[in-house]
Structure 1
Amino acid sequence: MKAIKHLYVHFNDGQRMALRFPQQSDDPAEIARGIRKQMESTSISIEVDGDLLIIPRNSIKYLQISPAPMRLPETTVLGAEVID
């Protein structure tokens, strides 16, 4: 059984979309390539219940993936925590 991942899309207008999906690959390098491709694209594409959602990147404030993938982009700051 594949691990369950969560994606939280935080939009510029303050709304948030929460999605749950099975881990897409067991290969950390393939996961990293997929994340890089999504980040370089002008839109994020997600299949939800047989429908295709295409979300323009310019409407997204940030993305949150939980738990984090095993392999992270090279420039990732590690060990941070959000403080108020």
Structure 2
Amino acid sequence: MKPIKHLYLHFADGQRLALRFPQQSDDPAEVARGIRKQMESPVISIEVDGDLLIIPRASIKYLQISPAPMRMPETTVLGAELIE
């Protein structure tokens, strides 16, 4: 069984969408490429319970992936902590 990942979409209007899904690939480089492709697209496409969600990137404030992938985009700052 593949590890479970969580994706939290935080929208500009304050709403949040939480999703759970199996890890999409065991290859860290392929995961990094997939994240890069999604970030470069004007929409994020996600299959949920047999339906396709197409979410315009313009409506998203930020994304949170948990746990983080093993391979991060090149410009990622590592070791940060959220403070309030």
Shift in Å, 1:50: 0.3
Q: Which runs of 5+ in 1 are unaligned?
A: none
Aligned to 2:5: 5
Shift in Å, 1:57: 0.2
State the secondary structure of the residue aligned to 1:69: coil
Q: Number of aligned residue pairs: give it.
A: 84
Percent of aligned positions with the same letter in both sequences?
87
Aligned to 1:52: 52
- The letter for the 1-side match of 2:56 is P
Give the aligned CA root-mean-square deviation in angstroms: 0.3
CA distance in 1, matches of 2:80, 2:28: 21
C-alpha distance after superposition, 1:19-68 (max 9, x if no partner): 00000000000000000000000000000000000000000000000000
Q: Does 1:63 align with 2:42?
A: no
Give runs of ≥4 in structure 1 deviating > 2 Å. Answer: none
